[in-house]
Amino acid sequence: MNILVIGANSAIAKAVARRYANPANAFYLVARNEEKLNKNAEDLKARGANQVEIKSADFAKAGIEPEVIESAKASLGRIDLVIMAHSILGDQAVFEKDLDALNQLYQVNTLSSLNLLTLLANEMEVQKQGNIVFIASVAADRGRPSNYAYGSSKAAVVTFLQGMRARLAKSNVHVMTVKPGFVESPMTEHIEGSGPLWSTPEKVAEIIQKGLVKRRNTLYTPWFWWGIMTIIKSIPECIFKKLNL
């Protein structure tokens, strides 16, 4: 299988890629930091992957998506599986003051994703096979005062994926939206907290791999976040306004 990983330095993407690191699979890793990319490539090879190539790309720059997909195709030939995990979390307080930061959040999390997905959809539609995994977040389920900029940047992609999934189903291409809860990773390192609501990249990766086998459409990781978000979504707006979530 030929696997394209976008945001390959992410803790979650890394853990997913490792689960597929065996002689049957080749990888193309895309992220910003080249040193980390090299290390991850070496890692996957040592774990048994057949071939691993890397590309450093900064999705804060608009318009680089076609080139990224072209070079992935040149390296892998056919792309069978895509994992998309690049994004920034940022700080809601900053987004409320700084329009450039807000625009950049949307550039990285939303626009680059929609561009990449559009290109990949066309590619896979012709191939008539393939899997696309997009890592969204439970934060996309409802805008909350503490992180509605980030949450909405993911929500746009989630809605986009719903339509794309239905479109591509006719071509035997599967699209899976993953919504992790709290995961211990560099993204959340600054957040105090631990306990039963927190999960690890390894556990999330295991759920993703199993979810793909079962061709799940939307996957909460771990599953209990589905319950939590169902409750959060059902709170009437007039009450929600008074909560500090």
Partner 1 sequence: MERYSWGGYPNTQQQLKQLSSITTPLPKESFLPYGLGRSYGDSCLNSEGVLLSSQPCDHFIFFDKETGVLTCEAGVNLKSIIQHCLPMGWFLPVTPGTQYVTVAGAIANDVHGKNHELAGSFGCYVKQFELVRSTGERLLCSPSDNSDYFYATIGGLGLTGFITQVTIQLKRINSHKLLVTSEKYQHLNDFFTLSENADDANEYQVAWLDCTATGSKLGRGHFISGRHQDDGDLILPERRGKSVPLTSPVSLINNLSVRCFNSLYYQRQLGQTKILEQSYEPFFYPLDAIENWNRLYGKQGFLQHQCVIPKNVGKEAIKEMLALIAKEKTGSFLVVLKMMGAKSSGGWLSFPMEGVTLAMDFPYQGKQTLDFLHRLDAIVSDAGGRLYPAKDANMLPSTFKAAYPKWEALEKMRDPQIASDFWRRVIQ
Report the partner that residue 73 touches, choosing among partner 1, ligand NAP, none (CB closer than 5 to 8 A by kind): none
Q: Where are the alpha helices (DSSP H) in 83-178?
A: 92-95, 99-105, 112-127, 148-169
Task: Establish if 21 lies at the interface with partner 1 (CB under 8 A).
Answer: yes
Task: Establish if 47 lies at the interface with partner 1 (CB under 8 A).
Answer: yes
* Surface-to-core class of residue 74, CB atoms within 10 Å of its CB (0-12 exposed, 13-18 middle, 19+ buried): exposed
Residue 233 CB, nearest approach to partner 1 (Å)? 24
- For residues 40 and 131, which CB has a smaller minimum distance to partner 1 in the complex? 40
- For the chain, how are helix, strand and coil distributed in percent, rounded to 5? 50, 20, 30
The neighbour count for residue 221, using CB atoms within 10 Å, is 23
Q: Residue 125 has which token pair? A: 């539609």
Residue 140 CB, nearest approach to partner 1 (Å)? 26
Among 97, 194, 239, 242, binds partner 1 (CB under 8 A): 194
Closest CA to 117 of 132, 129, 139, 135: 132
Contact footprint for ligand NAP (CB under 6 A):
7, 9-12, 31-33, 36, 57-60, 85-88, 108, 135, 137, 180, 182-183, 185-188
Among 2, 10, 25, 40, binds partner 1 (CB under 8 A): 40
Residue 45 CB, nearest approach to partner 1 (Å)? 8
Alpha-carbon gap, residue 123 to 114, rounded angstroms: 14
Task: Establish if 186 lies at the interface with partner 1 (CB under 8 A).
Answer: yes
- For residues 17 and 157, which CB has a smaller minimum distance to partner 1 in the complex? 17
DSSP 9: T
Report the partner that residue 31 touches, choosing among ligand NAP, partner 1, none (CB closer than 5 to 8 A by kind): ligand NAP
| Beta carbons of 134 and 154 less than 8 angstroms apart | no
For binding to partner 1 (CB under 8 A), which residues are involved?
A: 18, 21-22, 35-36, 39-40, 42-43, 46-48, 186, 189, 194-196
